[in-house]
Amino acid sequence: MTQSINLTINGRQVTAKSGETLYEAAKHVGISIPSLCVSDHLAAYGSCRLCVCEVEGRPGVHASCTTPVQADMIVRTESPTLQRHRHNLVELSLSERPRG
């Protein structure tokens, strides 16, 4: 039997299944988190880092596609810090493109 886990994402109470990631829990309730590498056909490994989120009580940012839900987590998927992080990642990715 799958255990239900209650957490908060962007101020919204969410019930997720044990074993789900933050990305999956958010997606199931219509909360969109940007990503490039998430696919239903591949195992998540957090390579693009665009799906990062902040988890209250934990330092730094965390890839939502690889972070499992835990009871009573408080998660933010949007903040100035996350926007800067995503902006910098996209900028870095574009700087690596071939020039022609």
Please indicate, yes or no, if residue 73 is contained in any of the structural domains. yes
Please indicate, yes or no, if residue 100 is contained in any of the structural domains. no
In the chain, the number of structural domains is 1
Chain-centroid distance, C-alpha 67 = 8
DSSP 8-state secondary structure symbol assigned to residue 2: P
Residue 72 half-sphere exposure, CB side, CA atoms within 13 Å?
1
Please indicate, yes or no, if residue 49 is contained in any of the structural domains. yes
In whole angstroms, what is the distance from residue 44 CA to residue 23 CA? 10
Please indicate, yes or no, if residue 83 is contained in any of the structural domains. yes
Please indicate, yes or no, if residue 32 is contained in any of the structural domains. yes
Q: What is the CATH number of the domain that holds 28?
A: 3.10.20.740
Over residues 46-99, the pLDDT tens digits come to: 778 899 999 999 999 999 999 999 999 999 999 999 999 999 998 988 887 777
What range defines the domain where residue 32 resides?
A: 4-95
Over residues 26-41, the pLDDT tens digits come to: 999 999 999 987 777 7
